[in-house]
Chains A and B, each alone.
Chain A
Amino acid sequence: MGSARVEKEVAVPAQGRREALETGAESDGALVIDGVCKSYEGFVLKDVGLELPRGYIMGLIGPNGAGKTTLIKLILNLVRREAGSIRVLGLDNVTHEAEIKSRIGYVPDEPRYHPDITLENLKSATAPFYPSWSEERFQALASEFELSLGKKFKTLSHGTKTRFSLALALSHGAELIVLDEPTSGLDPVFRRRLLDVLAGILQDERFSILYSTHITSDLERTADFVTFLRDGQVVFSRPKDEVIGRWGVVRGGREILDAEARAFFEGVREREHGFEGLTSRVEAARQRFGDRVVIDRASLDDIMVLMGRGER
């Protein structure tokens, strides 16, 4: 396992290295992932790294099958990583698994509980696991999310299951909230409310949020950092403002798309009547192509769709 790690530090025996990292844990971020690998039949998560400082929200974006859920399961140690390191709130997520789980609020993409149990009973069964459980907070969220606690789990819609799961996750003082596709299947009204709830959590700068989604409009405005995962690899992981507003989509006729022009773009999509190109050099593109093209600011969707396309 140790040999597969690509490390910046000088090679140290695994045990000693871990101890060395443990000191200075206080200064560590909410989530620090480095060189993480995991392979399944037909799927490889390769050398994944990212860093989420405390007090911020990171969007984890990527098409379906990019590895978002696998990465989240690795963070929670629901599946075993094959290489690399994952530190949650300064602690190794395997050696400190129990403590970390009580400090993470996890909302799975498809919450699963026993179908015949009422929400009230599910809550009562969950609360004792968390020393910092706040019944008051749970009740407030239950009413805010319009949850009928007498209902059986199986009678809930997908959206309500997510809301219930979110209420549980937010009621035990978790410092890192991990949401896996929380808004798929939710209407725009609740999606907006969810963003409000999340921004409310971030009023306290000790808290952090990792939010995976393929509905990028949820994150376009509110995310502080964006990590783009594709085919099991990180395409980029950086502050959102360095992406949105700096990248542009250039649209023009195919006749101007020669090899030299192509080199300008991080991704190109050709259509019958023209091309779309993604570039981080918007000003240079404007000068080069002038009024033969139109240039718009790239949305996260544009970036997700175009990045790396048509490479040669």
Chain B
Amino acid sequence: MRILISNASPDPIYEQIVQQVRAQILSGDLSEGDLLPSIRKLAKDLQISVITTKRAYEELEREGFINTVGGKGTFVAAQNPEFLREKRMKAVEEKLADAVDEAQLLGVGPDQLIEMLRLLYAEDE
């Protein structure tokens, strides 16, 4: 886990932690079952207060990104399927946007592109 706290950021420190941990889970840098540092250890590492760190973990837990198992520690939770889907849909959209750009360069219109997509789907089946 990598967290960089900026004192100049308009976001409060707890929010910076939440955003960065969330981003690392969504990007796959942190995956299900990974052990996070304890609240007190992270507070010491970042030289911030225990209460601030606790608040960040509570927020992440509330959003379903992490789980705390009593006596064992805090782990990255099984990913929220909705988030995962949203994230992957975004990737699809980005790739399609690339395809549209490429098609426009070649003067290929939407109808022709959709037809190409149909063919590709048919090939897969």
A contact residues vs B (CB 8 Å cutoff): 55-57, 195-196, 199-200, 202-203, 205, 221-225, 239-241, 245, 297
With CB as the reference atom, state the residue of chain A lying closest to B45. Answer: A199
Q: Which 9 A-B pairs have the closest CB atoms?
A: A199-B44, A245-B12, A224-B51, A224-B49, A221-B48, A203-B40, A224-B50, A221-B47, A239-B51
With contact pairs A196-B44, A205-B40 given, residues A223 and B49 touching in the complex (Cβ less than 8 Å): yes
Task: Say yes or no: A202-B51 contact (C-beta < 8 A), given A221-B13, A241-B14, A245-B12.
Answer: no
Q: Which residues of B contact A195 (CB under 8 A)?
A: 47
Asked if A196 and B49 make an inter-chain contact with CB atoms under 8 angstroms apart, the answer reads: no
List the B side residues contacting A297 at CB < 8 Å. 10
Chain A residues, CB < 8 A from B87: none
> CA A203 – CA B41 in complex, angstroms?
7
Docked Cα-Cα span, A228 to B35, in Å, equals 38
Question: Interface digits, B41-85 against A, CB 8 Å rule (1 contact, 0 not)?
Answer: 101100111111001000000000000000000000000000000
Considering only CB atoms and an 8 Å cut-off, how many residues of chain B contact the other chain?
A: 16
Q: Total A-B residue pairs with C-beta atoms closer than 8 Å?
A: 47
Q: A199-B47, A222-B43 given; name 10 further pairs at CB < 8 Å.
A: A196-B47, A199-B43, A200-B44, A202-B43, A203-B40, A221-B48, A224-B50, A240-B51, A241-B14, A241-B51
- Contact check: which of A203, A205, A240 meets B49 at CB < 8 Å? A240
Residues of B within 8 A of A (CB): 7, 10, 12-14, 40-41, 43-44, 47-52, 55
CA distance A55 to B14 in the complex (A): 19
Contact A221–B49 (Cβ < 8 Å)? yes
Which chain B positions have C-beta within 8 A of A223?
A: 49
Cα-based distance from A223 to B13 in the complex (angstroms): 13
Report the bound CA distance from A202 to B41 in whole Å: 9
Q: How far is the CB of A199 from chain B (nearest CB, A)?
A: 4
B52:A241 contact, CB within 8 angstroms = yes
A216 to B71, CA, bound (A): 35
Taking CB atoms, residues of chain A closer than 8 Å to B41 are: 203
Given contacts A196-B44, A202-B40, contact A222 B49 (CB under 8 A): yes
Interface centre among A56, A239, A245 (most CB of B within 10 A): A245
CA distance A239 to B13 in the complex (A): 14
Which of chain B's residues have a CB closer than 8 A to the CB of A239? 51
Contact A222 B51 (CB under 8 A): no
A202-B52 contact in complex given A196-B44, A241-B14, A245-B12, C-beta closer than 8 Å: no
**Distance of A240 Cα from B50 Cα, bound (Å):** 11
Interfacial chain B residues near A202, Cβ < 8 Å: 40, 43-44, 50
| Chain A residues within an 8 Å CB radius of B14 | 241
Residues of B within 8 A of A205 (CB): 40
Sample (16) of A-B pairs whose CB atoms are under 8 Å apart: A57-B50, A195-B47, A199-B43, A199-B44, A202-B44, A221-B7, A221-B13, A221-B49, A222-B43, A222-B49, A224-B51, A225-B51, A240-B51, A240-B52, A241-B14, A241-B52
Given known A196-B44, A200-B44, A202-B40, contact A56–B13 (CB-CB < 8 A): no
For B7, the chain A residues whose CB sits under 8 A away are 221
From B10, B47, B51, contact of A56 by CB (8 A): B51
Chain B: CB-nearest residue to A219: B49
Listed residue (A56, A199, A223, A297) with the most chain B CB atoms within 10 angstroms of its CB: A199
Residue among A200, A222, A225, A297 with the highest chain B CB neighbour number at 10 A = A222
A201: shortest Cβ distance to chain B, in Å? 10
Residues of A within 8 A of B50 (CB): 55-57, 202, 224
A210: min CB distance to chain B, Å: 14
